[in-house]
Amino acid sequence: MIDASAQGHADGLPTIRRPVFEDLVYAFMHGLADFRAAPVFGLTIGGIYTFGGLLILYVVNRLGYGFLGFPIMAGFALVGPYAAIALYTVSRLRERGEPVTWAAMARNLTPGVMRECSYLGILLIFLMAIWLKSGAVVYAIFFGMRLLSLPAFMEALLSTSAGYGFLILGHAIGAGFAILVFSLSVVSFPLMVDRGTDFISALITSIRTVRANPQLMLGWGAFIGLMLLAGFLSVFIGLMIVLPLLGHASWHLYRRLVV
């Protein structure tokens, strides 16, 4: 039965049920259950994601752009929903009572599904590139064109007015990007994996989901941000657990909200 607060749509898009706090608790607990039931898949996918982040940071630091470390970590989080595609499939298989195997996951990720997910993935990578360019511009505004070493940059960041300005403006711009990406992706990838929906319809559905209860959904987005931050502060190692946990939770939140 559709909840009385559900919002239909005249053009054939899925019906959205207004999110409530209990939905977030349900999604998190069931996401935790999925991760505990199939940890090998979550840790493998999370490990690949973690390695990618560490590799990017290493290359950037070797090139002398260590000041972009924080923007890179924040930007890397923007593509997390795309990296979690296989995790949605794990939750989907468990929900159907089917064995979770790599072969079963591959069968569910059909060429059509991967094509639509890739379109959105390219959009997220494009937004990540803009975010990194914005980070470089903000750096130039406060520190000029000279490249500081990573230790010198950290010292300036925490002890000078230029560093404080960099942090304030950088966080403001980053928050805007995070809200945009969250609105575009909170249910779009699970929807495409589950129903083979085209990525434009998935984007619209995701935005409508956030608009149905923006305060609660943005609170969920802030929680995701804090979880990712904890993963980054552990030198990315914590992402091996954070990514699969959030990926599975996103699947269950989608199943609760998209009728």
For 26-42, give the DSSP string: HHHHHHHHHHHHSHHHH
* pTM exceeding the 0.75 threshold for the entire prediction: yes
193-210 pLDDT, tens per residue? 999 999 999 999 999 999
24-36 pLDDT, tens per residue? 999 999 999 999 9
Pairwise CA distance, residues 53 & 45, whole Å: 13
- Report DSSP state, residue 258: B
Pairwise CA distance, residues 146 & 144, whole Å: 6
183 band by pLDDT with thresholds 50, 70 and 90? very high
Sign of CA dihedral 132, 138, 141, 143: negative
Sole residue written with tokens 């979690």: 84
pLDDT of residue 10: 47
Pairwise CA distance, residues 166 & 184, whole Å: 27
66 band by pLDDT with thresholds 50, 70 and 90? low
